Amino acid sequence: MIEQKPAFPIALSIMEFIKELNIILGILDKYLIPTTDVEKKLNQVIETIVRIRHKFRVEKDYKTSDWIRAELAKVGVKLFDAKDKTTWIIEY
């Protein structure tokens, strides 16, 4: 049997749903919400890098954009590109 991965838009929708559900239930806070100053700063740094990468994508500088994606992947940051937005996770 061949295992198929879910299409990206579906995976992104599921991730957004889980985040919204967590707002109500709060059971995933320790996994989704940065709790220490270091985690908050790390999130800010990653968000800044993602915004810079988005600018390169808009300017169609895909070489630089792909390089940034690859460098982030090396340190465990996985990017998910949608038409107007990029989300990310840290893989452990």
* Predicted confidence (pLDDT) per residue in 25-83, tens digit: 766 666 666 667 877 888 889 999 999 999 999 999 999 999 999 999 999 899 998 87
Q: Which residues of 17-26 are buried (b: 16+ CB within 10 A; e: fewer)?
A: eeeeeeeeee
Strand bridging mode 77-81 / 86-90: antiparallel
35 located within any domain: yes
2 located within any domain: no
76 located within any domain: yes
51 located within any domain: yes
32 located within any domain: yes
Domain count, the chain: 1
59 located within any domain: yes
pTM score of the predicted model: 0.64
